[in-house]
Amino acid sequence: MSTPVNSKLPKIGQRSTRQRRAVAEVLDGLTTFCSAQDIHQKLVAKEHKVGLTTVYRTLQQMAEVGAIDTLHDESGETLYRACATDDHHHHLVCTSCRRTVEIDGGPVEEWAAQTANKFGYEKSGHTAEIFGLCGDCQKK
């Protein structure tokens, strides 16, 4: 099995194993945010022998080094996705099918900086995600 072209796995700084490569391969093929269980099911469907604990650990390591994006859905579950860009961006996420569109922050960027400054903070980062129903799910 070859390492995916867009894989961000080397950022982990850990030994590249068959299991980690398999997780990275699945992430590279995602267009939606997925749970660790979803990713594990995709691995099982592709006949990869990777335990759920390994999937969780790999996703956590990748998220810690910024190799993948995470967000929490309305139930609080952590969802994961390898994004198309390393540049700062936000997400528009369908709450039904989890279809995701990467968007720039526009006025959110200025607002975040001004708000931090107003309260005497030095801004080190921010997140802003928009949730709703995509056009296809609205039609259902």
Alpha-carbon distances of 34 from 80, 133, 139, 140, rounded to whole Å = 5, 16, 23, 21
Alpha-carbon distances of 45 from 5, 22, 40, 70, 88, rounded to whole Å = 21, 12, 9, 23, 33
* List of domains in the chain: 1-85 (1.10.10.10), 87-140 (3.30.1490.190)
The tokens describing 66, both together, are 């910024």
Alpha-carbon distances of 25 from 28, 78, 100, 106, 135, rounded to whole Å = 5, 19, 19, 31, 29
Q: What pTM was computed for the model?
A: 0.74
Binding-site positions read 88, 94, 97, 109, 126, 134, 137
Q: Summarize pLDDT for 34-86 with one digit per residue, the tens.
A: 999 999 999 999 999 899 999 999 999 999 888 898 998 888 899 999 987 77
Binding-site positions for Zn(2+) read 94, 97, 134, 137
